[in-house]
Amino acid sequence: MRNTDDVRRALVKQVRRGIIDLLNLAYPAALDYDTICGSFVDTDEHYIKRDLSYLVEAGYLTWVNKESNAPWAGRKFRLTTEGVDLALKINTDPAISP
């Protein structure tokens, strides 16, 4: 039986994969934060913010309207080329579900 840490890690990886897959459907367009959150109705926004930040820092996403310093509700995100490769499973990352 898996312990709670294993379950938590699996859920984090699953949400990250879901964000990558969602943005891949829209690629090359960007999606706004509210649209992304609306796709994960069972996930607390705190976790979505954390995972979006992680994916940006890892180089898989870019915050396209960063110069406006928009609050979360106004932010738009798009896959980078590295993110597309991850979405297409050309590359892998152990922190994101396969």
Structural domains in the chain? 4-87 (1.10.10.10)
Question: The tokens 């109705």 sit on which residue?
Answer: 41
By the 10 Å C-beta count (0-12 exposed, 13-18 middle, 19+ buried), 33 is classed as buried
- Distance between CA atoms of 48 and 33, rounded to whole angstroms? 9
**pLDDT by 10s per residue, the chain, length 98:** 468 988 989 999 999 999 999 999 999 999 999 999 999 988 999 999 999 999 999 999 999 988 777 788 889 999 999 999 999 999 999 999 88
For residue 2, the model assigns a pLDDT of 65
